[in-house]
Chains A and B, each alone.
Chain A
Amino acid sequence: MNIYDIIFYLFAAITILSAFFVVTTRNIVYSAYYLLFTFFGVAGIYVLLGADFIAIVQLIVYVGGILILLLFGVMLTNKITNVEIRSGSIQIVPAAVGVALFAGIVMASMLNTKWKNIETAMPSATTQGIGLLLIQQYAVVFELLGILLLVALIGAASMARK
């Protein structure tokens, strides 16, 4: 067990524990901040996998963007001066069924996939490869995603105007 294994288990523990708390904690703001650590742990695992670009995009998009928006939303929609912002759980039975189904699918795909076992090598830069793929092979998908985001943006703006 070398140091990278230890770091991996650390990040994995952070991710799983904080994800667990995101779901179980009743305080919305707490779960938002547990989400921060979940994203952080996932980014760490990406780094260990040699996917530096995805790790950093994960940080920029999820921590810098979505999480902050989430916090803004939580703080602006509730009574902002009140620390006691709580959420409850509803419809436990359908949720449990859904979770069980999803867990089954994930487990099945995990067990049935033939994982590649590559010897650990010094990770090389991935940015250029990702950029080339996005512009050349997956250009249409990339553009479509961009349009989707634009549509969402325009929709949000028009809804906010009403």
Chain B
Amino acid sequence: MIYDFFFKLTNSNFLADLIQSLLPLFIFILPFALFAVLFERKVSAHMQDRLGPMRVGYHGILQTVADILKLVQKEDIIPTLADKPLFNIAPVLVFAGSYLAFAAIPFSSAFIGSNIDLGIIFIIAASGFVVAGILMAGWSSNNKYSLLGAMRSAAQIISYEIPTVLVVLSVIMITGTTNLLTLSEMQTGHFWNWMIFGGPVMGIAKFIFIPIMIINFVIIYISTLAEVNRTPFDIPEAESELVSGYHTEYSGMKFAMFFLSEYANMFAVSAIVAALFLGGYQSPIGYLGNLFGVHWLIPIEQFFWFTAKGIFFVFVQMWLRWTLPRLRVDQLMALCWKYLIPIAFVNLLIIGLITVL
């Protein structure tokens, strides 16, 4: 584990803890946000037959650095009639909520922020802070658009939490664990041991699980997409009607905090989907480290596979963004309550029956 490594290095419990808890932020969230913002702009540009940012650096690779420099320099504007304390706390709370989720994400077998037993449930609980922060931002801005966006966002996150939790529950019922590290370890071997292909179950049950798990995968992907307010579920920040939702009034670094937490959330939900259904950090084809007998290489390879899966799902999120138009509120609710939740319940029942039998 990476904790032991830092413990040996610093010879102090506290420092090792601190470094381990800060690692996801500095080696992951910040570089990922830098990468993902540019990636999103490039993907969207090329999907619309454009080129996207091309000026800063080769093909604009330094564009986000320039953007961040701009955001740092910007004036921090607080509207006169806004509620100042809440207005200042809200971005911190939202970011803390999304950073909290990273504590339990297993990046590789040696690198997990905190190996808590209730990992996946903890991540779901952490999203509550995001909702509270979003409501706080929307209300304290004292702006109609912000408030409407925050309300929509909170309502959407809460209602789509139900199908997410149902699918997570079905996975828990098969594996019997809520620990994400154990869950990933169970899907070891090759890709047919991944949960989307029925998990490490053998025999006839596996063949019944395969279609159910694929449906479950689609459900959780859709509902997590809605939880991070991405298109086609972006009515909370619908540009054409609400300016930009709950962060309309924010500028400068506070806006950057929202932006950062949005991208962190995008990766967090992709990571959950990857960890639950696509084997987490497990390689689909075996490890080079095993092949050459270099054992320290395996965790690094696992980190690579995990980020690759996560970034792939982030890419699919962007892909969907430029494919689908925004849903109406009634369509949003119809999708959740009429399709995702009943199907997830039926799947849960079938899986429950099979696991009991």
Contacts and interface: CB of A to CB of B under 8 A. Distances in A.
Determine whether A and B are in direct contact in the complex, meaning some CB atoms lie less than 8 angstroms apart. Answer: yes
Given A68-B132, A83-B83, A59 B126 contact: yes
- Chain B's interface size range is 20 to 34
A33 B132 contact: yes
Contact of B116 (A33, A52, A63, A83): A52
Interface string A34-71: 00100000000000000011001101100111011001
A72 B118 contact: no
Give the dominant DSSP class at B's interface.
helix
A127 interface: yes
Interface string B98-138: 00000000000000000011100110111111011001100
Contacts of A60: 121, 124-125, 128
Contact of B118 (A52, A63, A64): A52
A53 B122 CA distance: 9
Interface in A1-31: 3, 29-30
User: For A68, A76, A81, which residue has the most chain B Cβ atoms within 10 angstroms?
Assistant: A68
B116 A71 contact: no
Interface string A65-100: 101100110011000110100000000000000000
Contacts of A52: 116-118
B132 A36 contact: yes
A47 to B, nearest CB: 9
B170 interface: no
Nearest to B136: A33
Nearest to A27: B83
A125 interface: yes
B44 interface: no
B142 A81 contact: yes
A83 B135 contact: no
A127 B142 CA distance: 42
A79 B155 CA distance: 19
- Chain A's interface size range is 20 to 34
A68 B117 contact: no
Contacts of B183: none
B135 A75 contact: yes
User: For B82, B128, B144, which residue has the most chain A Cβ atoms within 10 angstroms?
Assistant: B128
Contact of B117 (A29, A64, A67, A127): A127
Contact of B131 (A53, A68, A75, A80): A68
Contact of A68 (B13, B128, B142): B128
B266 interface: no
B161 interface: yes
Given A36-B132, A52-B116, A52-B117, A63 B125 contact: yes
A150 to B, nearest CB: 16
A33 B135 CA distance: 10
Nearest to B131: A68
Contacts of A65: 128, 158
A84 B142 CA distance: 10
A31 to B, nearest CB: 12
A67 B132 contact: yes
B99 to A, nearest CB: 14
B147 A80 contact: yes
Nearest to A67: B132
A75 B178 contact: no
A133 to B, nearest CB: 17
Nearest to B172: A127
A150 B89 CA distance: 36
Contacts of B155: 72
B112 to A, nearest CB: 15
B310 to A, nearest CB: 23
A86 B158 CA distance: 27
B121 A72 contact: no
A64 B161 contact: yes
Contact of B135 (A53, A71, A81): A71
Given A3-B13, A29-B139, A60-B124, 11 more contacts: A30-B86, A33-B86, A36-B132, A56-B125, A60-B128, A64-B125, A68-B154, A72-B135, A83-B140, A125-B117, A127-B117
28 contacts: A29-B139, A36-B132, A53-B118, A56-B121, A59-B125, A59-B128, A60-B124, A60-B128, A63-B125, A63-B128, A63-B129, A64-B127, A64-B128, A64-B158, A64-B161, A65-B128, A67-B128, A68-B131, A68-B135, A68-B154, A71-B132, A72-B155, A75-B139, A76-B151, A80-B147, A83-B82, A83-B140, A127-B117
The 8 closest A-B pairs by CB, nearest first: A64-B128, A59-B125, A63-B128, A125-B117, A60-B125, A56-B125, A83-B83, A71-B135
